[in-house]
A and B are shown apart, each in its own frame.
Chain A
């Protein structure tokens, strides 16, 4: 059979398949009926046959390329992954994210160690020489502390709380996701982000203590700090998981280790996003407010404790079913 005859005989079938694919790609499989799907799968099988024939007899032709594409598109529709449903989303949030964090608790611990090392270095740096603060803190904050004032008052009275909260949670989420992605640099970027944030916190703490602002600082961070620091540490842990896959892939190849561990690490990072949105809103609306200290403290501790309870306790029973749902 010549190529011309082959095309002439089978072209109606291919065009029909193309038309049906365009329909299902635009509308989704729910808007189609049984007859449609039967015909689609019949046409798909027919076209795979044509492709096999073309691969034997018309190698290297454009026809082969076209048939490849047609079969690939049909294949995508027939073997499509689960679409998002409330069940899939629920198992993602309440099973897969907590499981991922629990699976990599040691990485989270290392991430916390780096973070607290940063705090310790920050504290001792200011202890030795107060000028060390100027390498990491901007001038307006420094001047405010030197004059015995919390810098937060002046900032939050100028910027409206909705704008501040948006800015805070977007920048915190960026830091967290960057800490995750930084794992691909063998952990250099992740470690740097964790250390730098810890260092800044340590410097601020010691400096505020020197100028009699410790109470005011603690009051300010009491309501959002727990959630924010937990999230950054967990996102850093996700980055360290990937760094570990690159440095120490075990019996896998590096790219395989990255692919399999990245899948759990990304769940850890995504789990931090809602927590950071909440903590950003609280930092802008509650932390600078006149609410009593006990309220801020109680709110912060409750949120921090529920976040960890969610990560450590939920989704223990259904291990296998949930894993296969989103894959």
Chain B
């Protein structure tokens, strides 16, 4: 959120929907896009390797002439088609059938969408993937990397041509907004004294920490609590919490109860 946002950080793009709402998406950064490609390449190579070694194993065990004669043709055709298929069909088919995702992209929560937010069509997928030899594969990948760095919307040549974006999706988890249960139990006896106003970012920060604190390691928990207390001190100016001597985590609980 600071002005010194770089390519490695989260970049946002604004899209406009027919409902006249500006949709904000998080663009995928260079690192995760490269990693997704590497995952896809690994999958392709693995399939190739398995087919080839299975055939080698069978050819050794079932050493009958006719088998080797027939199967070697079949395996050769299969290998040629696999290499061809990985080069030209893998990305096209997956992005088309999985609505803008390949296995690598799915693993890294990336998705290809149109610049206007709509899902990609077959032609878009073809455009952005047939251009891969020029800006993704082998040494040409440097061109794609450079484009992702320089372009404001992180589009490589193929993305420009197809008018697509690669976005990052954060897994949705509503439970991070849960009110902390123990609070209500504690507060029953005590007269609640609300009155401290937290803004929504502060509120979210506080509750996300309190909700997750049980899952932290003790050492992390010890380290985070004072940092959060210091960050939230501004909100309690003028109340008795400002000079309170409670331990950091109790202090945070108390703040949650009063706000």
Contacts and interface: CB of A to CB of B under 8 A. Distances in A.
Given A170-B84, A184-B131, A270-B126, A63 B177 contact: yes
Residue among B80, B132, B157, B200 with most chain A CB within 10 A:
B200
Contacts of A3: 177, 200, 203-204
A30 B207 CA distance: 41
B130 A266 contact: yes
Contacts, number: 150
Nearest to A11: B174
A84 B76 CA distance: 32
Contacts of A65: 24, 26, 170
B80 A185 contact: no
Interface in A176-226: 177-178, 180-182, 184-185, 189
Given A11-B174, A326-B122, 18 more contacts: A3-B204, A58-B200, A59-B200, A72-B117, A75-B23, A75-B117, A79-B18, A81-B119, A163-B77, A163-B80, A167-B80, A170-B80, A170-B83, A189-B134, A258-B157, A259-B161, A262-B161, A266-B126
The 7 closest A-B CB pairs, nearest first, are: A170-B84, A58-B200, A7-B177, A262-B161, A81-B121, A3-B200, A76-B119
Nearest to A267: B123
A4 B162 contact: no
A102 interface: no
Interface of B: 1, 17-19, 21-26, 73, 76-77, 80-81, 83-84, 87-88, 99, 113, 117-119, 121-123, 126-127, 130-135, 157, 160-163, 169-170, 172, 174, 176-177, 179, 200-201, 203-204, 207-208
A69 B26 CA distance: 10
Given A3-B204, A70-B172, A259 B163 contact: yes
A259 B228 CA distance: 48
B3 to A, nearest CB: 14
A8 B179 contact: yes
Given A270-B126, A326-B122, A60 B201 contact: yes
Bin the interface of chain A by size: 35 or more
A18 B24 CA distance: 19
Contact of A174 (B84, B127, B179, B200): B84
Given A69-B170, A75-B117, A57 B200 contact: yes
Interface in A231-258: 242, 255, 258
Nearest to A184: B134
A67 B135 CA distance: 34
B131 A181 contact: yes
